Amino acid sequence: MIETRQLQFAYGVGQPLVFPDVTVQQGAVLLLSGPSGSGKSTWLALLAALVKPQQGSMTVAGQDLTALAGRSADAWRACNIGFLPQKLHLSAALTVQHNLELAFWAAGLPADAQRVRQVLGQLGVAELARRLPSQLSGGQAQRVALARAVLMQPRLILADEPTASLDDAAAQDAVQLLVQAAQQHQATLVIATHDARVGQALASCMPVSPNLLHLGPAPREAASTTAAARVQV
């Protein structure tokens, strides 16, 4: 579950980003849309306790994030958040297997090689375990990133522009994989994107409409009908 109230965040002395209040039930999907620069990545960073709001409160997976600081925030994040970043950061010298095992280290747990193999297998890429990051195609890297995001059975999966560099078929595939992975782990899923294909892909692979949060000016064609929350930044 995600609950935010009166959230504001400013970089340095800049204008604060003001975010609408959001309530998302555990296991549900939230589509976070808005143009580039509207604050999507910042909102994800707040949810992952990577940055602290100057104002407002947030509860994520039962944890009041304003009560977390420093190392306890790191430990909480490692166990509860599966982050699918815009760019996959893997250590170039390590195999996929060893890169994924690092997630256990970050959570203060012994590496579970079998769990890594299991998750790669579930995503249909078991054969990539021994490869180096430089030996992965774009689609393969996407699956490895998703494997890493779900490895610790997080309560919340945050995906930042997961379709950015993908063609139509791969974009549809990536969204479907995300939804499936979240369902499998009863995780809440947030997809931040300015790619209209994501909404279409969600509609085709989910029985219910996702929750919507739109940041920035309303999209022109839907301005009068959109039910999504909006924020001016």
The residues of the shown chain that bind ligand ADP, judged by CB under 6 A, are 11, 34, 36-42
Is there a contact between 42 and 9 (Cβ–Cβ < 8 Å)?
yes
Beta bridge partners of 123: none
Q: 104, 113 in Cβ contact below 8 A?
A: no
* Interacting partner of 33 out of ligand ADP, Mg ion, none (Cβ under 5 to 8 A depending on kind): none
Compute the least distance from the CB of residue 231 to ligand ADP, in Å.
Answer: 11
Please state, in angstroms and rounded to a whole number, the distance separating the CA atoms of residues 65 and 45: 12
Q: Which region among 32-40, 68-76, 88-96, 131-139 touches Mg ion (by CB under 5 A)? A: 32-40
Q: Which does 38 bind (CB under 5 to 8 A by kind): Mg ion, ligand ADP, none?
A: ligand ADP
41 binds Mg ion (CB under 5 A): yes
- Under the criterion CB under 5 A, does residue 172 sit at the interface with Mg ion? no
Tokens representing 161? 């522009």
- Selection from ligand ADP, Mg ion, none that 37 binds (CB < 5 to 8 A by kind) is ligand ADP
| Rounded least distance, CB 110 to ligand ADP, Å | 34
> In this chain, which stretch among 5-13, 33-41, 111-119, 175-183 interacts with Mg ion, using CB under 5 A?
33-41
Closer Cβ to Mg ion, 87 or 130, answer by number: 87
Among Mg ion, ligand ADP, none, residue 142 binds (CB under 5-8 Å by kind): none
214 binds, among Mg ion, ligand ADP, none (CB under 5 to 8 A by kind): none
Alpha-carbon separation of residue 153 from 103, 157, 174, 188, 233 (angstroms): 11, 9, 18, 11, 34
Residue 33 near Mg ion by CB under 5 A: no
Tokens 């078991």, located at residue: 126
Q: Residue 50, class by beta-carbon neighbours within 10 Å (0-12 exposed, 13-18 middle, 19+ buried)?
A: middle
Shorter beta-carbon distance to Mg ion: residue 22 or 32: 32
Cβ at position 74, least distance to ligand ADP in Å: 19
Residues in Cβ contact with 45 at an 8 Å cutoff, skipping those fewer than 6 apart: 51
Least distance between ligand ADP and beta carbon 122 (Å): 29
Amino acid at 136: L
Q: What angle, 0 to 180 degrees and rounded to 10, lies between the N-to-C axes of helices 138-150 and 113-122?
A: 130
**Which residues in this chain contact Mg ion in the complex, by CB under 5 A?**
40-41
